[in-house]
Amino acid sequence: MPAPPDATGTAPLWSDTRAATGGPAEPSAELPAAADVAVVGAGFTGLWTAYYLLRERPDLEVLVLEAEHVGFGASGRNGGWVSALWPVSPDALAARHGRDAALAHLAALRDTVDEVGRVDADESLGSGFVKGGTIALARTEAQERRGRAAARHGAAWGDGTVWLGAAAARERLQGNGTRGATVNPHCARIHPRNLADGLAAAVRRRGARIVEGVRVARAGDGVVVLEDGRRITAGSVVLATEGWTPRLPGHERAVIPVFSLMVATEPLPADRWARIGLAQREVFTDHGHVVIYGQRTTDDRLAFGGRGAPYHLGSAVRPEFDHDERVFAALRSTLRALFPALDGVRFTHAWGGPLGIARDWHPSVTWDPGTRTGRAGGYVGDGVAATNLAGRTLTDLVLGRSSPLTALPWVGHRSPSWEPEPLRWLGVNAGLGLARLADAEEARTGRPSRVGPLLARLTGH
């Protein structure tokens, strides 16, 4: 039967379905004139940093400043993957830092997935954490080649990735046209906004002040200056602004905001789930060039997202960029084609938001002991777990401790600046177009795309 009209232009699913266990939102704390540590941004990076600082040093005065509300940015809009995925290959890490350093980084990422689960349980964060792993479908000959190569590569690095043949893959996820899949156990599903809200509550319980609705004009070197001219002195400053980083003076070309959009269905009954799969609450993707990602939510919806929205000139971030009906329609069409069991199902939500990408696709944690200013970000969409690792690492750096975390290869990494406009607008949007062309070519020919190598060079991979 035909599906009812789909919703467009709605708030993120995660905002509409957030837990009500805490009652009304807490009013923001009074803005102090000074703090031991000032954190700019109340997303996952900022909240995890505040959490671990106070867990280690309960006596610290920690202030978290947020322009909108807790979890407003990518932390409250993402696909809910707590994964050990990393946008830089272990080969690239090993080439620069050595194989032992690359292995240590991969192990830290795997442990981070479990650390999020431990804190979720210990602090009763209510995120819906379930570690079901990731399944990545191969639905063309070219995707199958990449999937088999990914399994071989994963085996060489001990990351747990295995290849499943078509029958075994369909037992996990009944995607239309599935030829096989890779599966990796190191990923959990969460409800992102519940994690952000729960973490903020835990941070407040430990004594931090979270002040929402304040906009920072500049920060660093022991001072935070707000747009209204007020100044806050701080012993240390942590910048946790991700896709909004280009708005800060001196960081205009550090990362670019690229928009990722999502749609979600109405809750699905058990008989439909029996025809789809994800019985272990796996998250899912495929081996295409255009990034897609999905999960079975805590209330049994399918939430599904992907790239494809354009990059906007001058690293602009505006509310209207969160909604692109052309991309929403493509996401709904892709998901219905992938799962025929969605025939007649209504999509109730459509939303989006920016994530941060550095020029070399390399996330980083930096710390300047002279100005006592730290920063983490550029997660390229793999930040739900990486933010936790960043928060623990920044804690050690702020407290002046050397540790296995501060020795990881992303600490102190300096990405090159993005090109000036309009070159970066042309380059980034050309890359998005090439990814779509590559997938279309492979669907038509069944062979690896001829533009794939060009896409790899353009993105720095």
* Angle CA 285–289–294, to nearest 5: 20
Mean pLDDT on 13-18:
96
pLDDT tens per residue, range 94-107:
999 999 999 999 99
Give the pLDDT of residue 21: 47
Helix (H) or strand (E) holding 331: helix 325-338
For residue 18, the tally of other CB atoms under 10 A from its CB is 20
End-to-end CA distance of the chain: 44
- Average pLDDT over the chain, rounded to whole? 93
Residue 440 has pLDDT above 50, yes or no: yes
Residue 308: pLDDT band by 50, 70, 90 thresholds? confident
How far does Cα 6 stand from its chain's mean position? 26
Mean pLDDT on 371-391:
97
Share of the chain above pLDDT 70, in %: 94
Q: Rounded to whole angstroms, what are the CA distances from 352 to 110, 189, 320, 340, 365?
A: 27, 19, 10, 25, 26
Residue 8: pLDDT band by 50, 70, 90 thresholds? low
Query: How far is residue 111's CA from residue 117's CA, in Å, rounded to a whole number?
Result: 10
**Among the ranges given (20-29, 114-123, 203-212, 450-459), the one the predictor scored with the smallest mean pLDDT:** 20-29
Give the pLDDT of residue 449: 73
Q: Which residues is 182 bridged to in the sheet? A: 136, 163
Give the pLDDT of residue 30: 81
Residue 413 has pLDDT above 60, yes or no: yes
Peptide bond into 32 cis (omega under 30): no
Residue 209 has pLDDT above 50, yes or no: yes
Question: Where is mean pLDDT largest: 61-65, 307-311, 456-460?
Answer: 61-65
Residue 176 has pLDDT above 60, yes or no: yes
pLDDT tens per residue, range 243-286:
999 999 999 999 999 999 999 999 999 999 999 999 999 999 99
Give the pLDDT of residue 26: 58
Query: How far is residue 327's CA from residue 305's CA, in Å, rounded to a whole number?
Result: 10
- On whether the CB atoms of residues 114 and 185 are closer than 8 A, the answer is no
Give the pLDDT of residue 23: 40
Residue 98 is classified by DSSP as -
Give the pLDDT of residue 264: 98
Q: What is the dihedral of CA 109, 113, 119, 124, to 10 degrees?
A: 160
Query: How far is residue 423's CA from residue 429's CA, in Å, rounded to a whole number?
Result: 10
Query: How far is residue 28's CA from residue 437's CA, in Å, rounded to a whole number?
Result: 47
Share of the chain above pLDDT 90, in %: 86
pLDDT tens per residue, range 150-165:
999 999 999 999 999 9
pTM of the model: 0.95
Give the pLDDT of residue 456: 63
Residue 454: pLDDT band by 50, 70, 90 thresholds? low
Give the pLDDT of residue 445: 77
Give the pLDDT of residue 114: 98
Residue 16 has pLDDT above 60, yes or no: yes
Give the pLDDT of residue 6: 80
- Locate tokens 């069944």: which residue? 446
